């Protein structure tokens, strides 16, 4: 059994609001052997407040935090992105539990860079952010009170990853290196353009069917060379559709 490679796992906090929560996330990450944290969309957090909540033992994690402006660019180099949400809906799923996600991550992390994506404390991740994810996790809670503190959500998911093992028995069974998010987004953009040109997509809601296609490719675990094949097919279909019209 293979344990998750935590060095290949990063916690990505999208537009967090409070310095104290970032500090608490750093502490939770350090507890579970994860040292990579990326903060996207917001800067200028009070270092002292972060350190008070993280304790001095996680100061090295705070020192390594990366601050980035755009989410799509930040995630571009990752091979597998796991989004988190408490808000359910057909356009946002399908959803998996932290434990199920952790089993997949234990395998995928052997050869791939993984991002665990968490949204703002008050609103969470919107559909626009979730579309960038290959998996979406929701943490089961009491119906009477579903809201979780950001650091609590991070701890639950990281704990499951820390304790999970991959079922792969040998190196041949391990998930190979997947296509990067940047490559996938280029492919999805090309597919969307093609399907719009042939009038397959509803122009009033083109992202509806695209979300289903994104989930389909996510389940397949597409590789870089396979992205190139799909994009080559799209180019040929675009050429054929153009010449058919003319």
At 1-20, the pLDDT tens digits run: 789 999 999 999 999 999 99
Domain shared by 150 and 192, yes or no: no
The domain total for the chain is: 2
CA distance 177 to 180: 9
46 and 101 in a single domain? The answer is yes
Give the sheet arrangement for strand 95-96, strand by strand.
66-68, 36-40, 9-14, 114-118, 80-84, 135-137, 95-96
Note whether 135 and 10 are within 8 A (CB). no
Residue 87 has pLDDT above 70, yes or no: yes
Q: Is the peptide bond before 94 cis (omega within 30 degrees of 0)?
A: yes
Is the same domain home to 53 and 146? Answer: yes
Question: Which residue range forms the structural domain that includes residue 48?
Answer: 2-173
List, for residues 92-126, the tens digit of each pLDDT value.
Answer: 667 899 999 999 999 999 999 999 999 999 888 99
- Mean pLDDT, to the nearest integer, of 149-169? 89
pTM: 0.89
Claim to verify: residue 59 and residue 153 sit in the same structural domain: yes
Domain-terminating residue out of 136, 153, 173: 173
């Amino acid at each position: 059994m293979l344990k998750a490679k935590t060095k290949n796992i990063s916690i990505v906090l999208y537009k967090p609001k409070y310095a104290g929560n970032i500090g608490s996330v750093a502490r939770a990450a350090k507890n579970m052997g994860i040292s990579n944290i990326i903060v996207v969309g917001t800067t200028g957090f009070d270092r002292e407040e972060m350190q008070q909540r993280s304790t001095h033992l996680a100061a090295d994690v705070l020192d390594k935090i990366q601050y980035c402006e755009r989410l799509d660019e930040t995630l571009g180099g990752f091979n597998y992105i796991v989004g988190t949400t408490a808000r359910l809906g057909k356009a946002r799923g399908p959803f998996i539990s932290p434990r199920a996600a952790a089993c997949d991550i234990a395998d995928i992390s052997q050869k791939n860079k993984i991002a665990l994506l968490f949204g703002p404390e008050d609103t969470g991740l919107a559909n626009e952010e979730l579309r960038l994810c290959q998996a979406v996790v929701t943490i089961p809670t009491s119906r009477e009170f579903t809201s979780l503190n950001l650091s609590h959500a991070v701890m639950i998911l990281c704990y499951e990853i820390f304790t999970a093992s991959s079922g792969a028995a040998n190196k041949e069974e391990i998930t190979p290196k997947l296509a990067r998010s940047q490559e996938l987004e280029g492919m999805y953009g090309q597919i969307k353009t093609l399907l719009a040109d042939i009038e397959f997509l509803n122009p009033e809601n083109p992202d509806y069917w695209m979300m289903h296609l994104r989930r389909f490719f996510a389940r397949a675990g597409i590789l870089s060379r396979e992205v190139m094949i799909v994009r080559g097919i799209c180019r040929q279909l675009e050429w054929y559709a153009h010449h058919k019209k003319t």
